Amino acid sequence: QKEVEQNSGPLSVPEGAIASLNCTYSDRGSQSFFWYRQYSGKSPELIMSIYSNGDKEDGRFTAQLNKASQYVSLLIRDSQPSDSATYLCAVNGYPGANNLFFGTGTRLTVIP
């Protein structure tokens, strides 16, 4: 059984700070990695995907992947109160499909 581990939090950061969210996964053969954001009572929304080692930046978001350490992270720069949500790390179990394995999520609160 593939496992994805996240700190459940809550993680609190002041507005304007960098929020750092971390995730580890058990299956060394995993190839695709995703970060979803879920506001309370809403659907998970894909915000970042990463497939190769290194950093991938999109606006204020940076995903980092280290396959040797089986570690993926999400950095949110200039955090805003609207970033307050639960962030879910997900790993693709099968190439070409979306049979994802999720972590339990980290709840982030950005304090104005």
Among 67, 102, 107, 109, binds another protein (CB under 8 A): 102
User: What tokens does 109 get?
Assistant: 């609160």
Among 52, 104, 111, 112, binds another protein (CB under 8 A): 104
100 binds another protein, rule: CB under 8 A:
yes
Among 40, 52, 82, 99, binds another protein (CB under 8 A): 99
Smallest gap from Cβ 6 to another protein, in A, equals 9
108 binds another protein, rule: CB under 8 A:
no
10 binds another protein, rule: CB under 8 A:
no
> Is 108 strand, coil or helix?
strand
| Concatenated DSSP letters of 66-111 | ETTTTEEEEEESS--GGG-EEEEEEEESSTTS--EEE---EEEEEE
Q: How many residues does the chain have?
A: 112
Instruction: Report the largest interatomic distance among the alpha carbons of the chain, rounded to a whole angstrom.
Output: 41
Interacting stretch for another protein, rule CB under 8 A, among 13-21, 45-53, 54-62, 63-71? Answer: 45-53
Among 44, 64, 87, 108, binds another protein (CB under 8 A): 44
Rounded Cα gap, residues 88 and 16, in angstroms: 22
